[in-house]
Amino acid sequence: MILVTTHTIPGKKIVTVLGLTRGNTIRARGMGSDIMAALKNMVGGEITEYTKLMAESREQAIDRMLEDAERMGANAVVGMGFSTSMIMGGAAELLAFGTAVVVEDE
């Protein structure tokens, strides 16, 4: 599966547009991460616990989006992007989205 943030893929032509594909995950912070983040906030620097949480969330959302695109019959996703939103205090949704397409060599 080809995945790009652009709307075209060099050397490929889009032959069928299948529509919106998306995958999401909702994650909550854990108490342990919050304690470590509070300590890190006092001294400054990267809050690696949250960085890791967001990286895992992005990967899961991408995986789910690609599964959705495959179910639609796509072999590529173009125009891929992310969106986040707060669901409740301490929990956020991360959404990966794009356009599922069928491409072939030019």
Where would I find the H helices in 5-47?
A: 31-43
Which pLDDT value is given to residue 36? 58
Summarize the confidence of residues 22-47 as an average pLDDT: 70
* Residue-range domains of the chain with CATH: 2-105 (3.30.110.70)
Q: Please name the residue ranges forming H helices in 44-102.
A: 48-72
pLDDT at 38: 61
- Give the span between the Cα atoms of 25 and 64, in whole angstroms: 9
Whether 8 shows a pLDDT value over 60: the answer reads yes
Pairing state of beta strands 91-105 and 76-88? antiparallel
Residue with tokens 């994650």: 27
Q: What is the predicted pLDDT for the residue at 32?
A: 54
Kindly report, residue by residue over 68-100, the tens digit of the pLDDT: 999 999 999 999 999 998 887 778 899 999 999
Q: How much is the pLDDT for 99?
A: 98
Task: Return the pLDDT at 28.
Answer: 79
What value does the mean pLDDT take over residues 27-33? 65
Q: Is 5 helix (H, G, I), strand (E, B) or coil?
A: coil
Residue type present at position 106: E
User: Which residues lie closer than 8 Å to 38 by C-beta, 6 or more apart?
Assistant: none
Q: How far apart are CA 27 and CA 89, in angstroms?
A: 11
Per-residue model confidence as pLDDT tens digits over 38-68: 666 666 677 777 788 889 999 999 999 999 9
